[in-house]
Amino acid sequence: MAKSGSGAGIGRKIFGLLPKKQKERFPLIIFLLVVSAVLSQLTPLAVGYLTDRILSEANVSFRSVLPVLLVILIVNVVNEIIKVVRRLFVEDTATQTEKNARRRAAASLLTAPLSYFRSHMTGNIHGRLNRSLEGTVKLIKLLLMDFAPAVTTGIAAVVTIFFRLPFPVACFVILVVPVGTFIVFRQISTQKGIRVELLNTKAGMDGTMVELLGGIETIRALDGAKFEEERIAERSEELREKEMKHHRAMAFYDCLKFINEAVFSVLVIGVSVLLASKGTISVGTVLTAYLCFTQLTGPLRELHRILDEFAECTVLANDYFALAELPLDFSYEEPRKAGEKAFPDGNGIELKDVSFAYPEKPDQAILREICLCIPQGMFLGIAGPSGCGKSSLIKVIDRLEQAAGKIELGGIPLDRFSRGELAEQIALVPQTPFIVADTVFHNISYGMRRDVSLDEVKAAAAKANIAADIEKLPGAYDFVLAEGGANLSGGQRQRIALARVFLRRPKILILDEATSALDNTSERVIQSEIEKLKEEAGTTVISIAHRLSTLQNCDEIVVMDAGRIVQRGKFDELRETPGIFRDMAMGVLK
């Protein structure tokens, strides 16, 4: 979690999230706070006035005090209406902030470097985002609905006390504030960081739970449920012990605050009665002073909660901005001057002396001095043992990872293309397809930058050999898929992803074990359609496959090992040549 920054800096950033309309309302909200604080003092003054009048006159009719009672009623009703209006303004400001903040955080995460996600658990990121958003929004509410009203009401009460009581007595009465504030700050200092520590612990548990749910089938197959349950229980007990230690300390300081308030309440009553008995102040002033005193002690009682939560929310807001201000991934950087366009002469690919290592492990080379020319319209296969660099190579070609060396697409350096232009040129189909919780139609048309007709989607589904399966679903193309396509088989998910390709007709198609879950019939149909796409659109196809039969129709196959290209040739040639490919083929093909 991010370290806490200055309150002023966080305030400016949060203020920057607000639309113009909400920013313009701030002076009005402050004005309403001041009016509400002033109105809150009229009731104690009116009660004191009534008391003095009743005691000073022998016969007081109800009719004579009715106007004052009506004033008290009207003042309180008006004050409550003002509070409602202020609350609605604050809630509108808070919800607008949350909306803009959520969108900004989503944009930041979706364009962040991939290395960030390799070093942070998905569940942890999700938990942090939700908690930091809640903290950021709560910070606004605390400031405008708790802290600011408490301060303005307290200041108004102090002014009234000094106005109604002798100066030395008033100074004595308000001693409750510094004593109570000392207790509050002592409480905060002793409990400093405990809330943040608890939040971090809970975020870690969120990450663990998401991780466990993602591997539920493996856990069940290995009968690991009891073990994981005990592990969670052990961590939950550690969390509970920390929480109880915090609650014990909170209870102790709350008791001190109550004693402070009780002592000064008795002193205020005693001193006021003593002064009234000597004629220094009136009985009505006694009541006014006591009612104003309660308006001091009420906010003071809540001051620890407000300041403690304010400190916690400031940390959470810092954490939110740490997520919202993640560095931009290199592939989203502006590739060239404004107005300058990249127009490739074709869809051939050339790599020269390309090397790659993950940023977090710069000394462990994944690709080593790769030189490869893929002419336009070629069907290139990539084979090799696990961990040899096949997937890293295609990620480099699609500019998902940053590599050293020279890469050109259609004769133009790869770094001259924007992310959007690459998306128009290249379609990447991973082994594990990305399926969103939406209709079949929207999953197949996902990523299209134009309106797509149902007939187009149906034609693409037919080419991916998934049309018959879709028609059997309730609602067919309107059928809503579960998260990750959990209500489909692995082969169906892959065919949905392949249907996207046939809809888009990209210039470059990259398949990373994209047919590994397909049966032989579906694979043959799709391979045939890919061949047609290659012939009709001139698509350059790059295919990674462990099932080497998938590569039989390739124009050329490159074989990789330890980050280098160690063999290249056609399928039959490589199968007869001693080396890694023949060893793999002997284990796979009969």
Query: Which pLDDT belongs to residue 590?
Result: 40
Cα dist. 66→56, 285, 333 in Å? 17, 20, 73
* Number of neighbours of residue 282 by Cβ within 10 angstroms: 18
Alpha carbons 171 and 183: distance in angstroms, whole number? 19
Q: Which domains does the chain have, with CATH numbers?
A: 7-324 (1.20.1560.10), 349-588 (3.40.50.300)
Best CA proximity match to 426, nearest among 392, 398, 394:
398
SS3 for 158-209 is HHHHHHHCCHHHHHHHCCHHHHHHHHHHHHHHHCCCHHHHHHHHHHHHHHHH
CA 417 to chain centre: 29
* 246: confidence class by pLDDT, cuts 50, 70, 90: confident
* Per-position DSSP letters for 385-415, written without gaps between them: STTSSHHHHHHHHTTSS--EEEEEETTEEGG
Q: At what angle do helices 122-141 and 62-110 cross, to 10 degrees?
A: 150
* 126: confidence class by pLDDT, cuts 50, 70, 90: confident
Q: Which tens digit of pLDDT belongs to each residue from 202-213?
A: 767 777 777 777
Q: Which of 108-112, 183-187, 245-249, 439-443 has the lowest mean pLDDT?
A: 183-187
Q: How, if at all, do strands 412-413 and 349-357 pair?
A: unpaired
Query: Which pLDDT belongs to residue 551?
Result: 87
544 forms beta bridges with 382, 512
Q: Which tens digit of pLDDT belongs to each residue from 321-351?
A: 988 899 988 888 877 655 566 666 778 899 9
Task: Show Cβ contacts of residue 224 under 8 Å, excluding neighbours closer than 6 positions.
Answer: 218
Q: Which tens digit of pLDDT belongs to each residue from 127-168?
A: 788 888 888 888 888 888 888 888 888 888 888 888 877 887
* Number of neighbours of residue 587 by Cβ within 10 angstroms: 8
370 forms beta bridges with 354
CA 313 to chain centre: 15
Q: In the numeric block, which tokens belong to residue 446? A: 């996902």
380 forms beta bridges with 542, 556
Q: Which of 2-11, 52-61, 481-490 has the lowest mean pLDDT?
A: 2-11
- Mean pLDDT along residues 560-574: 91
Phi-psi region of 333 (alpha: psi -120 to 50; beta: other; left: phi over 0): beta
Query: Which pLDDT belongs to residue 338?
Result: 54
Q: Which tens digit of pLDDT belongs to each residue from 363-390?
A: 899 999 999 999 999 999 999 888 899 9
What are the strands, taking DSSP E only, across 474-561?
508-512, 540-544, 556-561
Alpha carbons 340 and 352: distance in angstroms, whole number? 25
355 forms beta bridges with 404
Q: Which tens digit of pLDDT belongs to each residue from 476-534?
A: 999 998 888 888 888 889 889 999 989 988 899 999 888 777 788 888 888 888 888 88
Query: Which pLDDT belongs to residue 588?
Result: 47
Query: Quick check: helix, strand or coil at residue 480?
Result: strand
* Residue 211 near residue 124, CB atoms below 8 Å: no
* Residue 225 near residue 215, CB atoms below 8 Å: no
Query: Which pLDDT belongs to residue 286?
Result: 80
Q: Which tens digit of pLDDT belongs to each residue from 527-554?
A: 888 888 888 888 999 999 888 888 888 8
Alpha carbons 39 and 153: distance in angstroms, whole number? 9
Looking from the CA of 517 toward its CB, the CA atoms found within 13 Å total 17
Instruction: Tabulate helix, strand, coil % of the chain (nearest 5).
Output: 65, 10, 25
- Mean pLDDT along residues 456-470: 92
* Number of neighbours of residue 390 by Cβ within 10 angstroms: 24
- Mean pLDDT along residues 280-293: 81
